[in-house]
Amino acid sequence: MPLTKRTFLITAFAAAASTTIATRAQAWPAKSIRMIVPLAPGATADIVARLFAEELGKVLGQTVVVDNKTGAGGTIATAEAARSPADGYTMVLVSQGTMVFNMGLYKAPGYDSLKDLTLVTATGGVSNVLIVHPDNPAKSVADLLAQARAKPGELTYSSGGVGTSHHMSGVLLEMRTGVKLQHVPYRATPAGIQAVANREVTMGLFNTPTVIGLTKGGKLKPLAVTSEKRSGLLPDVPTMIESGVKDYVVNTWMGFAVPAGVPEPVVGRLNTEINRIGQLPQVREKMLGQGIEMLPPEPPAAAQKLVRDDLALWLPIIKASGASAE
């Protein structure tokens, strides 16, 4: 076949394929969409998912069905989403835990968060707060670090388990300040928080919503929040950066992803609508009620950069900590 004719046929085929993809994207959605959620009904993540599913269904004109798949730190649900057809009819609620931490905690999570999934957008984040017992004389992070330096390896911090954001927050504190702490993991978050309140451990770094009641009740003393900016839930508490700990930010984000290969127009439409929903006053109010502060709307490219940057930051930290979920 002459080269010019072959080139023409290849170009025509590519153009036809591109037109077909664009046409399908324009027709999307033509049926209901499945939203996989890696936690049980009633959990915070499930409440968030159902809130967005309801609003998304209204604007897309199709039902968004929430499908709860629990177990293995979210790897079961996320892996199932990653294996689903890239047609825009399956999405999954993801988080920093499933997209970043699991890549370092599990030898075989069942998916690659960069190759197998596309993060459409990150919607909200939850900061941690550094807490101590009210009787602890420390009035600031600097005071607490002075205690740690005076007794290397003796000050303890609790968590809700190995590999949690509470645990990783403590590891990051060690790395950023050079202090040596002792990690005491508990089987669940409430037990880890209570350990601080009972003075079983010196400190903890727990999700702000889970401790705000105890801090306001005077049973725990907050020293700093781990977000880049002060939390609207604890506006009088400084950030770790304000407290003198450079480059210290832990803001556990959540968002929505689709299988890799979903047409860009579909990803773009989902990004636009989810971002718009996230800015609705009633949605922001409900999210804040769950302790989740909304993140600024960003395009899909920024969401992908967030995953890459977080992997570059956290995988070495997880490796250094020796944490494993196997």
Residue 232 — pLDDT band, cuts 50, 70, 90?
confident
User: Does the pLDDT of residue 80 top 90, yes or no?
Assistant: yes
3-state SS assignment for residue 260: coil
Residue 26 — pLDDT band, cuts 50, 70, 90?
low
Domains defined along the chain, listed by start: 7-125+252-321 (3.40.190.150), 127-225 (3.40.190.10)
Beta strands (DSSP E) in the chain are 33-37, 64-68, 90-95, 117-132, 156-159, 182-185, 203-207, 221-225, 251-259, 293-294
Using a 10 angstrom Cβ sphere, with 0-12 exposed, 13-18 middle and 19 or more buried, the burial of residue 84 is middle
Q: What is the pLDDT of residue 163?
A: 84
Determine what percent of the chain is predicted with pLDDT higher than 90: 77
Per-residue pLDDT of 108-151, as tens digits, reads 999 999 999 999 999 999 999 999 999 999 999 999 999 999 99
d(CA 197, CA 186): 14
